Structure 1
Amino acid sequence: MAEFLTIGEPMAVFAAEDLDASLVDAQRFHKFLAGAELNVAIGVSRLGHSADYISAVGADPFGQYITKAIAKAGVGTRYLSQSDHFWTGFYLKQRVSQGDPATYYFRKNSAAANFDQKNLDQIDFTGVKVAHLSGIFAALSANDLNVLKDLTQRLLAQQILVTFDPNLRPALWASRQQMIDTTNELARQANIVMPGIGEGEILMGSRDPNEIADFYLQQSDVTQAVIVKLGPDGALIKQRDGHQQVVTGFHVASVVDTVGAGDGFAVGLISGLIEGHTLSESVKRGCAIGALAVTSPGDNDGYPTPSELAQFYAAQAALSE
């Protein structure tokens, strides 16, 4: 049995080692395991919780590498199928000294984009406390959008807490409007929605955290809380019962790579909720792991073990004295 469940597309990422070189000019790359939802599963597992990952890979070297790497990270692979007909996605990522790195994806018509919906019948929901979904899987194909909707209904029927991160990837959608409409539709079926400020502006037209939160709370009675990520400044929590709070964030001395910070936030939130912490305490942990994530080059290399998280809290407390 697993405490945590998620679905997504796993990929191999080739991260450039040449600082501030374009992807055209970079010569040296390092291979990592990647995928937004997979990042969350790995982070939750690293904190000592059982996690299962639902997806598909091709019968190719990337698929074999990903399967081995997921298992090595302690994430369950019983729902990771292998396709003989479709390939495994991968992407290139720039290394930059500041800002967000450029990326380039090779994922069209991948094994994950052709996930067999019948595989959902194999899932054992016993013991699952939290399931995490994102807009990325829905953007891969019309097939995967149907899969995600089906899975969401199964989760809600089992009264499993569903968290949703928009995780906008405009390049994957046929149009901007389709991305907006579909992402907001998916958010309606989540118990907790966690957009960023920039995502809120795209999805509902405002950068005001309160307006973003109100939009998603008013969309659906299913949504009980909205957490608007504010970057280093923390996050706004707004709940259906009227409770509202801004949780302060953490600042780090050096930012190496911003990719994976949002997934790190989800790791903290979800692991805190699994452990029975309050929503506020869980969001605080999310801010901490999001901050740790930007200090390492890999998409999930900065996610901590319990002892490393305790050390980070201690170091931050010492700085504030």
Structure 2
Amino acid sequence: MPRSESRSDSRHDSGHDSRYDVLTFGEAMALFVADDDGPLDQVTRFHRRTAGADTNVAIGLSRLGFGVRWLSRVGADHNGTFLQRALEAEGLDCRHVQRDDTHATGLVFKARAVDGADPHVEYVRRGSAASHLSIADGRDVELESARHLHATGIPPAISDSARELSFHLLRQARSAGVSVSFDPNLRPSLWPNETVMIETLNALAAESDIVMPGLSEGRLLTGRDTAHDIAGHYLDRGAKVVVIKLGPEGSYFRTADSEGTVDGSPVKQVVDTVGAGDGFAVGIVSAYLDGLDWRAALHRGNLIGARQVQVIGDMEGLPSREELIAMERSGDAI
């Protein structure tokens, strides 16, 4: 892994040529979380928050002190205004967020999680502003000024034009010598069919340095069964490291010359599983940028993922740098 570098001051610097740490892109949605138990059709009170795997990672990295730029489209509506204000309040640089006068901001409604079970979620995102992302939205991005690009498999699933943007940004990053991490984040319902999903996500993984699927995702995408063989599939196609999430059992990594498994972090009570994988990604990417070795990176990813499942909300458990230091010293996710 690279040596640790000083984090940039770009989160507070709007200069044209300023250096920054991370670019992320995708769809931010207004999340309406039920206040009360029960089916969504019976709930009358909700809290509005932010949602989106890509924004969760962006927020998590910003809380750890990294300069993060966010690229997206939101509607010229109150939900779009809410999202941009919320993300800027988290320290994100939103210079690459476009306001769309024609298409609405995507929405997601989530039932209240009960007894640690996955909560029921319903999306209102078809034809959203973010689904109209295209290569044109990435035209002014200064990737050569970034240290890292983080991508997921969600933007390429929401539209053909957003898929083109995904390939464009990953290839631009590689051309500029910028490291790339990729989390497949499978959303089968967003894809036209499974074949297109598998082919597209594997092609994007081939443009990435760090590939981090879950075990079940890796099995579907590669046709291999073990974490070792799944990792080998992506290493053979150009990845420098493959990190595989194993759920409560922890995580596994493999590079060209090393591999290992790091046990999961104990969880006192599972409250809401949404966002656990995003928390894990925050741990891996932040550790990479901090110059830690892969075992330490997996330990950090496991810690943050475990912390995230113990709170309500998609990103409320993502720690500050001070909280992370305390967690790593104690070995406790909370």
Asked if TM exceeds 0.5, the reply is: yes
Secondary structure of the structure 2 residue equivalent to 1:77: strand
Cα deviation for residue 232 of structure 1 reads 2.0
2:126 alignment partner in structure 1:
108
Q: Deviations over 1:196-239 (max 9, x none)?
A: 01212222234421121122222x12x11110111122111011
1:263 pairs with 2:278: yes
How many residue pairs match? The answer is 315
What letter matches 2:83 in structure 1? Answer: I
Q: Name the CA distance, whole Å, in 2 between partners of 1:121 and 1:31.
A: 32
1:57 pairs with 2:74: yes
Secondary structure of the structure 2 residue equivalent to 1:5: strand
1:298 alignment partner in structure 2:
313
Cα deviation for residue 273 of structure 1 reads 1.3
Q: Name the CA distance, whole Å, in 2 between partners of 1:217 and 1:254.
A: 36
1:182 pairs with 2:200: yes
Q: Which residue of 94, 102, 111 corresponds with 1:77?
A: 94
Q: How does 1:137-176 map to 2 (within 5 A)?
A: 137-176=155-194
Contact 2:71-2:96 at 8 Å conserved across structures: yes
Residues 226 and 84 from structure 1, CA distance in 2 versus in 1: closer, same or farther, beyond 3 angstroms?
Answer: same
1:11 pairs with 2:29: yes
Contact 2:131-2:159 at 8 Å conserved across structures: yes
1:93 pairs with 2:107: no
Residues 314 and 121 from structure 1, CA distance in 2 versus in 1: closer, same or farther, beyond 3 angstroms?
Answer: same
Q: Deviations over 1:227-284 (max 9, x none)?
A: 0111122111011x22111112201101111111101111111111111212221221
**What RMSD in Å do the two structures reach over aligned CA positions?**
1.6
2:16 alignment partner in structure 1:
none
Q: Deviations over 1:158-216 (max 9, x none)?
A: 11110000001111111122211211111111111000012122222344211211222
Q: Deviations over 1:31-63 (max 9, x none)?
A: 111110111010000011110001010100110
Secondary structure of the structure 1 residue equivalent to 2:35: strand
Greater Cα offset, 83-92 or 273-282: 273-282
Q: Which residue of 189, 213, 218 corresponds with 1:200?
A: 218
1:224 pairs with 2:240: yes
1:238 alignment partner in structure 2:
254
Contact 2:306-2:333 at 8 Å conserved across structures: no
What letter matches 2:242 in structure 1? Answer: V
Residues 122 and 310 from structure 1, CA distance in 2 versus in 1: closer, same or farther, beyond 3 angstroms?
Answer: same
2:331 alignment partner in structure 1:
316
Structure 1 unmatched runs, 5+: none
Q: Name the CA distance, whole Å, in 2 between partners of 1:317 and 1:68.
A: 32
Cα deviation for residue 29 of structure 1 reads 1.5
What letter matches 2:105 in structure 1? Answer: T
Q: Name the CA distance, whole Å, in 2 between partners of 1:51 and 1:291.
A: 23
Greater Cα offset, 51-60 or 9-18: 9-18
Secondary structure of the structure 1 residue equivalent to 2:248: helix
Q: Name the CA distance, whole Å, in 2 between partners of 1:318 and 1:112.
A: 33
Cα deviation for residue 125 of structure 1 reads 2.3
Percent identity for Structure 1 against Structure 2: 38
Cα deviation for residue 318 of structure 1 reads 12
1:131 pairs with 2:131: no
Q: Name the CA distance, whole Å, in 2 between partners of 1:52 and 1:243.
A: 32
Q: Name the CA distance, whole Å, in 2 between partners of 1:126 and 1:318.
A: 35
Cα deviation for residue 27 of structure 1 reads 2.9
1:33 alignment partner in structure 2:
50
1:247 pairs with 2:262: yes
Residues 277 and 114 from structure 1, CA distance in 2 versus in 1: closer, same or farther, beyond 3 angstroms?
Answer: same
Secondary structure of the structure 2 residue equivalent to 1:95: coil
Q: Name the CA distance, whole Å, in 2 between partners of 1:7 and 1:206.
A: 29
Q: Deviations over 1:118-159 (max 9, x none)?
A: 231211124421211111000010011111111111100111
Greater Cα offset, 156-165 or 269-278: 269-278
Secondary structure of the structure 2 residue equivalent to 1:202: helix
Residues 30 and 207 from structure 1, CA distance in 2 versus in 1: closer, same or farther, beyond 3 angstroms?
Answer: farther
